[in-house]
Structure 1
Amino acid sequence: MRDKIKEAYVRGMCIDDICTTLNISRGNFYYHKKEDLKRGINWDILALNKERDIESIREKEARFLKTLILSFEKFIEKSEELEPETIEKLHKYAETYWKLKAPQKNDVFASRKQSEDIARKTIEGIAKLALQEQNEAVVQFLSQNAELIIQTIFKEHK
């Protein structure tokens, strides 16, 4: 059952649909997700990696480069001599290419993972404070619902 739940989640099916389709409760869903996480299988990372399918990215990049090169060649054919305006257009082609090719610090997936890590650390910090204050109810709640809290936060801020 856990594999079916995980496969549906990784494919991008929303949690409500997974629960309805497989006739399970949200608690059951999160139980299986949490158990896999304990074993080192992070469903969120698997889902992100699926979205970042390398083959798909390579195909898109190849199409983009082909289009860019063909456009560049047409541009060169039309340009009889390299005037300042022509050089500026060439510069824009190169600049566009490098903006797209260079690693981005604001990569959506890296940014989301970094934000999720910060949220996890925040929850851990609150749990530690609650433990110091001997507030077992808060510690219990956070330990059982940390992933749900993170999912809820990021679902609302997509």
Structure 2
Amino acid sequence: MKIAIGCDHAGFKLKEAIKGYLVSKGFNILDEGTYSEDSVDYPDFAAKVALDIKNQRADFGILICGTGIGMSIAANRIKGIRAALCLFPEMAKLARSHNNANILVLPGRFIAVELAQWIVDAFIEEKFEGGRHENRVQKIEEMDK
């Protein structure tokens, strides 16, 4: 499985920790930056990861900024992207199982590395349930038209 990951300066430390964690678990990582704590604009990195998902260069995406809010807003502007800001593993499970989220967004300033790892695991391991949720996801997709 290939995972695209990106962050701004506020998410850099957590991105590096998550990237190392995923590599240790055998995942193929597409690191879209940023590559330091120098100030950058989060929409640039949200777009890179979202386009990786849209163009099928990666199976899932992970975005990290200070609060996760900016990355969520920016990524969700790309047609076909369902980016979900998750603060707990249960939120990540539901984002995948009910909303078929394809990008996990994390708040780099508000969660510890261990919690972020649990959230990432929950997101990656969960499957979309389909069924009654399929109609709802389709309605979201129709909003892009």
Give yes or no for TM over 0.5: no
Query: What TM-score does the superposition give when structure 2 sets the normalisation length?
Result: 0.25
Structure whose CA Rg is larger? 1
Task: Answer 1 or 2: which has greater helix percent.
Answer: 1
Query: What TM-score does the superposition give when structure 1 sets the normalisation length?
Result: 0.24
Task: Answer 1 or 2: which has greater strand percent.
Answer: 2
